[in-house]
């Protein structure tokens, strides 16, 4: 069995978590099987089990990662700044579509 450096293992785990984050947002937990997630990441199912005990373990890691990123992104901002930023990005496309159809 090949041994990988710690950095390689961390990078592979990160790749799996990031891929899972995208897929879970798009298809939900039930719509995201291990084989599909790993194919998206360009890895084998065996690589999954080298990093996670179960799908539930991956989901928990992915959610924790997403929450950490949000906390870092919004750290130091007031609630008003967060809401204004969310409205600007979330509603910009909708406003353009409504304006085009008017």
In a domain, 94, yes or no: no
> For residue 62, what pLDDT band results from cuts at 50, 70 and 90?
very high
CATH number at residue 39: 1.10.357.10
- The residue behind tokens 């008003």 is 80
- pLDDT over 60 (residue 90): no
Binned at pLDDT 50, 70 and 90, residue 49 comes out as very high
Is residue 88 situated within a structural domain? no
> What domain range is 72 assigned to?
6-76
Tell me if 101 is assigned to some domain: no
C-alpha separations of 38 from 17, 44, 96 in Å: 10, 6, 37
Average pLDDT, integer, range 78-83? 86
Torsion (CA) 77, 78, 84, 89 in degrees, nearest 10: 30
As a whole number, mean pLDDT of residues 97-101 equals 49
> What's the structural domain count of the chain?
1
Report the pLDDT value the prediction gives residue 76, as an integer from 0 to 100: 87
Task: Provide the pLDDT for residue 95.
Answer: 47
């Amino acid at each position: 069995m090949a041994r990988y450096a710690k950095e390689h293992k961390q990078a592979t785990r990160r790749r799996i978590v990031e891929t899972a984050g995208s897929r879970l947002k798009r298809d939900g937990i039930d719509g995201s099987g291990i084989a599909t997630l790993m194919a998206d990441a360009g890895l084998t199912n065996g690589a999954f089990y080298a990093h996670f005990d179960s799908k539930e373990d991956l989901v928990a890691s992915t959610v924790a990662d997403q929450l950490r990123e949000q906390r870092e992104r919004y750290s130091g901002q007031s609630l008003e700044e967060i809401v204004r930023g969310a409205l600007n990005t979330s509603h910009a496309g909708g406003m353009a579509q409504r304006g085009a159809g008017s």
